[in-house]
């Protein structure tokens, strides 16, 4: 944690043949959460990973596993992701009619409940449920892939969510997911995020070749310096 900001490396950009090793490197470099992107080929166009990967990551780290479910009908699967070792279960408000029920189910198992909003979804979609949530994820990109550019228009939504949470005296976390870089991480933090997800900025897929430790150090330095 740097200046109150947590870093959540997303394994979506990691070399899956070296997954355990890279997760350990991220932990050693000061990661707070490991973010796991689950995609079903329906809510988003592509398929990524499921519970076996969550179980595998659970075996190599004690860090909080931040499960981002980009799937239709998440209510059918949240139990399995909790069983697999997920700690924060995040569902998209666009994917369910029953966010309140799911948040209750997750908290009932003493896990943390999160809700995500796509770039086109207004923050008002979850305003009334904030007391039921441990975390809000404001997507900085349209979900589906790592390595996309942050959509600047999502930052005012981060500010708005932060105002709503602080105004209500809640401790709900605000996570920005997608497009976070060394350059814009301090800007996201200044907008009110206290958790930043980063896939390509940490796991740096080829042709770049910096280590996870180097990439994490650069993010931390940028956060320590703050927004310019
Ligand atoms: C996007 C995923 C993100 C993604 C972030 O659909 O939810 O978590 O892995 O990738 P970067 O940090 O490269 O934008
Ligand atoms: Zn994600």
* Ligand 1 mean position, distance from CA 164 (Å): 25
Instruction: Check residue 149 and report its DSSP letter.
Output: P
Q: What is the pLDDT of residue 209?
A: 85
| Contacts with 167 (C-beta within 8 Å, 6 or more apart), sequence order | none
Distance (angstroms) between ligand 2 centre and the Cα of 52 equals 17
Residue 35, helix vs strand vs coil = strand
pLDDT of residue 228: 67
Mutate to test the pocket of ligand 1, among 197, 204, 212 (most ligand atoms within 8 A of CB): 197
Taking CA atoms only, the protein residue closest to ligand 1 atom 10 is 146
Residues 6 or more apart whose CB falls under 8 angstroms from that of 85 comprise 54, 55, 57, 58, 65
Reduce the DSSP state of residue 168 to 3 states and report it. coil
Report the residue among 145, 151, 203, 205 best suited for mutation to probe ligand 1: largest number of ligand atoms under 8 A from its CB.
Answer: 145
Alpha helices in 39-169 (DSSP H): 51-60, 78-83, 99-108, 124-127, 155-167
144 Cα: distance to centroid of ligand 1 (angstroms): 7
Average pLDDT for runs of 10 along the chain of length 228: 95 97 98 99 98 98 98 98 98 97 98 98 96 98 98 98 98 98 98 98 86 97 89
CA of 177 to the centre of ligand 2 (A): 6
Residue 52 token pair: 């076996």
Least Cα distance to 204 among 222, 217, 194 occurs for 217
Residues belonging to the active site: 37, 177
186 close to 223: Cβ distance less than 8 angstroms: yes
Name all residues whose Cβ lies below 6 A of ligand 1: 10, 12-13, 35, 37, 68, 141, 143-144, 146-148, 177-180, 197-201
Which residue, judged by its Cα, is nearest atom 6 of ligand 1?
143
């Amino acid at each position: 944690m740097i200046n109150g900001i947590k870093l959540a490396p997303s394994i979506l950009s990691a070399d899956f043949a070296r997954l355990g090793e890279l997760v350990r490197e991220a932990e050693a470099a000061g990661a707070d959460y490991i973010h796991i992107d689950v995609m079903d080929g329906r809510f988003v166009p592509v398929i990524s990973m499921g519970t076996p990967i969550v179980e595998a990551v659970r075996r190599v780290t004690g860090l909080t596993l931040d499960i981002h479910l980009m799937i239709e009908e998440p209510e059918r699967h949240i139990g399995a992701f909790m069983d697999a070792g997920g700690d924060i279960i995040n569902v998209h408000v666009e994917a369910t009619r029953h966010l309140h029920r799911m948040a209750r189910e997750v908290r009932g198992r003493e896990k943390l409940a999160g809700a995500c909003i796509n770039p086109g979804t207004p923050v008002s979609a979850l305003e009334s449920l904030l007391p039921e949530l441990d975390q809000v994820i404001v997507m900085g990109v349209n979900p589906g892939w790592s390595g996309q550019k942050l959509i600047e228009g999502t930052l005012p939504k981060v500010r708005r969510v932060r105002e709503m949470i602080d105004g209500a005296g809640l401790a709900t976390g605000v996570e920005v997911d997608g497009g976070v870089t060394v350059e814009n991480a301090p800007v996201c933090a200044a907008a009110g995020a206290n958790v930043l997800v980063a896939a390509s900025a940490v796991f740096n897929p080829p042709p770049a070749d910096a280590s996870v430790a180097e990439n994490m150090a650069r993010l931390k330095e940028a956060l320590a310096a703050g927004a310019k």
